[in-house]
Every structure is written in structure tokens, then in C-alpha cells.
Amino acid sequence: MIQLRSALLLLVFALLAPSPAAAERRNDGLDDLQMEALRDALRASDELAQAWFRLRAGDAAGARDDARVLARSNRKDADAWHLFGIAAAADGRPMESEQALRRSLRLRPDGWVAMHLVTNLVDRGRLLGAERILKRFDGALGTDLHFARARAWVLVARGELAEARTLLQALEERTGDATLAWQLSALLVEEGDARGALAAIRRAVAAAPEHPVYRRELFERLAAAGDWSGLVEVTSERGADAVGGGLAPYYKGMGLLRLGRTDEAVEAFSAVAEHGRAEPIPLAGATGYLLQLGAYAQAERTARVALDGQSEDAPLHHLLAMSLTRLEREGEALAHYRRASELSAGNADYRFDLLVSLCSLGRAGELDAALTRARRDFPEDARFEALAGRCGAAES
């Protein structure tokens, strides 16, 4: 069975992503919600809307609790059961989600609910159950776009990739829907069609330019394809910052570096630390690239920003230490070499750099004892023996 990422959770994430353009049209925060029946229900019920907004704010457990109370207090409310199913899935409770979605679908056939239920079942390996849902509701929902999406996921799970691709392509051509292009792109990756996958994710971004999930995947696909000019272009255009996490300047820096535009690459990598909520991976990556480019002051700053949120990360302490060494601030660097070695005691590179730092600072007594431990811990690593032979501190 093809192991695609969880379709239900990704769809929930996609639906939770706010649309700035929609926010300008109205003030209730619901214009960007694609599920029409649920959107109307939220506008008619403040309690239901509050549960939805808790989910959008990242409080899946709280949203699940609220939606469960609302669904059980009005057992014939298909929308309350639908929201309960979505929130339970986001809270990591797939079986509870399945039960709620089944209840919603029995109360009122709906393409969105059917798609969520089928993908729930497929994700859990219950392919026969998913096929039964498709068969049971084919008469009521056979022409529904979202029901057709569910059928495509079942085809993928059955390994019928060509048929799934044909279905998704036909649906996307008919609707121009961004989510369909995104799903098709994921399928084409599984088939090994990198060019087709890239073209599909480009169409998804063109259809929904403010959507962070689609843009992030576009960055990743261009980097994987080695299309550095294309990567610089898309990370520079309006809307690129919708991705968040400092990823736009990080990927831009990667593209600029590969194109030999080193000064611009330094500027881009340095901008990662300027992002208010930069993610750990682009921060660490930017630090490494800045070190490689000789931008040591910028590397120090980026490493310190990264450590604010990851104080127990050994590689980050090591990167900061190397930055400080190159800035000729070995006394400060030593503390971070120590911390990196403490956090990752089995890493020979961290231990070696710690010993070199002790050597450069003339810490003879400490170095001698540390070299003895290092030879014992890493008996096959010749670097420690060579350091003992050439470092005057160890011989005194």
C-alpha cells in the first residue's frame, strides 16, 4: 500500500489555514472555510463557532471537548457531529473521529464528511470499510467533488495509481481547485514523476497564492529539483512569507548560494533570525550556511536566536561555539563546546573541538585529563593521539 501522509489531518490543516484575502471581505473569520454546510452552521451558532475557532487557534483538545458537548446535546445536528469528528482527528483520536463522522453522514449525506470519513479509514488501513462507504453513498453523492476525492484516495490505497491520477487530473481540469492540484502533486511524487509533481504544486500555488502549505511544498520541490533560479524567484515574490517560520529567506538563501550570489545569500540567511517565529530547522541551517560563507557575526546571532527556543540542542551549541571561535572569542566559545559535549557525549567531533579549545586557551591540567578520557572513549580515533602529541598544554 502506498504510504501517503495523513490525508485527513493535512486537509484539516489546509482548512484551518487563514486566508488574508478572505479576512478583508468579512469580519467573522469564516469566509475562508470551504465546507459550505459547516460554515453556515457556524454562522448560525456562536457556540459551534467558538469550538471551530479554538481548533483554528491550535487547541484541538478544547475544540474536541466543546464539539462533543454540542453534538451530544443535539444528537440530530449533523454539523456538530462533523465538527466533533474534525476536532477529534486533530486531537489524535481517529476512532472517536470515525464514530462522529459516521453519525454526521447518516444524518445528512455530505461530500466533505464522506471524504473525511473515507480518508480516516484509509489512514488506519481499513480499506474495505472505506470502500463500503463509497458504495453506500454513491447514489446520493456520486457527482460530488469531495466524494470523488475520497474515491481517489481509495484508489491510491489499492495501488491503482494510474486510475487515481486520471481521476484527480480530470477533477482538477474541471474545477481548477488548489487542493486537488496539491493532492495530485503528492500522488505524482509517489509515482516518481518529479516534473509533473512540480507542475501540479505550481498550479496549487497559482490557485491559492496565500496558502502556506502549498507554498512550502513548492519551495521543497524546487530545492529537490535543483531549480535554484526558480527557487529564488518564488521565495522573492509577493506572498512568499505566508509560509512562515523563516522558511522563505532560508530557501532563498539556498538558491542564491547555489547560484554563486554569496553576498545576497548572506543577507537572506541573516534574515531568518529576523523572523518573529522562525522554526528550528531553518535557524540551524542558516547558521551553518553563514559559517560556511564566513559571516561569523551573523552566524553567532542566528545561533543565539535558535538556542532561545532549543537550549538543550547540542548541534546548536556547537555551531555557536564555532562562530565564536572564528570571531576570536575562544573564552566564550569554550562554554558552548562544553555544553555540546555534555549533551552529546558520544559525539567524537564535539569532544575533539572541545579539546582543541582547551588547548588554544592553554588549559593544561584540564586538557591532560580530558585527553585521557577521550582516548578511552574513542580508542580508534587517531585525532586525539595526534592532538596529545602536538598540543603543548597536554605535555606540560
Interval 161-189: pLDDT, tens: 999 999 999 999 988 889 889 989 988 98
Cell 572569542, located at residue = 329
pLDDT of residue 153: 86
304 contacts 274 by C-beta, under 8 angstroms: no
- Under a CB-based contact definition with an 8 Å cutoff, are residues 121 and 133 in contact? yes
Task: Tell me: pLDDT of 22 over 50.
Answer: no
Per-residue model confidence as pLDDT tens digits over 342-364 = 999 999 999 999 999 999 998 98
The CATH number for 152's domain is 1.25.40.10
Domain count, the chain: 1
20: pLDDT strictly greater than 50: no
318 occurs within a structural domain:
no
Identity (one letter) of the amino acid at 260? Answer: G
| Cα separations in angstroms, 264 against 19, 245, 252 | 30, 20, 9
DSSP assignments along 88-112, one per residue: HHHTT-HHHHHHHHHHHHHHS--HH
Helices (H) and strands (E) in the chain, counts: 25, 0
Q: Range with the lowest mean pLDDT among 14-18, 35-39, 126-130, 385-389?
A: 14-18
Residue-level pLDDT at 32: 77
User: Please, how many CA atoms are within 13 Å of residue 262, restricted to the half-sphere of its CB?
Assistant: 7
From 278, 229, 287, select the one nearest 257 (Cα to Cα): 229
Q: Is residue 264 part of a domain?
A: no
Closest CA to 74 of 35, 47, 39, 37: 47
> What is the C-alpha to C-alpha distance for residues 38 and 80, in angstroms, rounded to an integer?
8
Q: Which pLDDT tens digit goes with each residue over 95-134?
A: 999 999 999 999 999 999 999 999 999 999 999 999 999 9
Give the Cα separation of 11 and 164 in Å (integer): 18
93 assigned to some structural domain: yes
pLDDT digits (tens, 9 = 90+) for 220-254: 999 988 999 999 999 999 888 888 889 999 999 99
Q: Please give the pLDDT value at position 1.
A: 39
CA dist list (Å): 113 to 52, 134, 162, 217: 16, 12, 26, 26
What is the domain extent for residue 7?
1-157
| 386 is a domain residue | no
| 3 state DSSP class of 311 | coil
pLDDT given for residue 3 in this prediction: 42
- pLDDT of amino acid 27: 63
Give pLDDT, residue 278: 84
For residue 394, pLDDT over 80 is answered with: no
Check: CB of residue 186 under 8 Å from CB of residue 215. no
d(CA 104, CA 91): 18
3-state class of 35 per DSSP?
coil
Phi and psi, residue 169, nearest 5°: -60, -45
193 contacts 222 by C-beta, under 8 angstroms: no
Is residue 283 in a domain?
no
C-alpha grid cell, residue 216: 512550502
Would you tell me how many other CB atoms lie within 10 Å of the CB of residue 214? 26
Name residue 344's amino acid: S
Q: Say yes or no to pLDDT of 203 above 70.
A: yes
Residue 330 lies in a domain: no
| 279 contacts: CB under 8 Å, gap ≥ 6 | 245, 246, 247
Domain-embedded: residue 375: no
Q: Does 55 fall in a domain?
A: yes
- Stronger pLDDT, 281 or 277, i.e. the higher one: 281
